Amino acid sequence: MIPRRALAALLLPAPALAAEPDARRAEGGSLVQLAAEPAVSLPLRGAARGRQQSVYEGLRLPGPPVALVAERWLVGWGRDGDRGLFLAFDWRAEQLFLLLLVDGGPVHLAPGRQAPWPEALAEPFARFAPGLASHPRFVD
C-alpha cells in the first residue's frame, strides 16, 4: 500500500520543467524516484488516468534500478508474477512510454496500443516481459 502522503505528492500539479539534467538524477534509483521527478510526474499522471492505483502499486514492485539506455532513455520496471509496470522516459524529448501487466496481459497506457516504440527499448522490454505474446511494436 502506498502511503497517502506519497500518493498525494504524485498527484499534485507540478510546474513544467525541462527534464535535463534533473530527471537523470533518477538513474540508478527506483521507479518511485523516477516517477517523482517533475518532468516525469506530469505525463505519468496523465497516462495513468483510470489506472492510477495499479500504476502507483507498480512503481513499488521489485525490479532493477533505473538505467540510462542509449544515452537518452531512463528505463525501469517492476514485476511480481503476472503484475508489472514498465516505464521509459526520454529525458531529451520529455516523452513517456508506460505499460502495465495485469493478470499477465499488457495494458498500453502511453502511447496507445498501436503506436510504435523506439527500438532502443526493445532489449530492456524483453527483460521485463520475456515471451509476452502481445508486446509493443519496436521501430528505428
The strand ranges marked E within 1-140 are 67-69, 73-80, 83-90, 95-102, 105-110, 117-118, 138-139
* Angstrom distance (rounded) from CA 98 to CA 87: 5
Task: Kindly report, residue by residue over 58-101, the tens digit of the pLDDT.
Answer: 999 999 999 999 999 999 999 999 999 999 999 899 999 999 99
The C-alpha R_g of the chain, in whole angstroms, comes to 14
What are the extents of the domains in the chain?
Answer: 4-139
- For residue 7, pLDDT over 70 is answered with no
- For residue 19, pLDDT over 50 is answered with no
Task: Kindly report, residue by residue over 113-132, the tens digit of the pLDDT.
Answer: 889 999 999 999 999 999 88
The pTM (predicted TM-score) of the whole model is 0.83
Confidence of residue 2 (pLDDT cuts 50, 70, 90): low
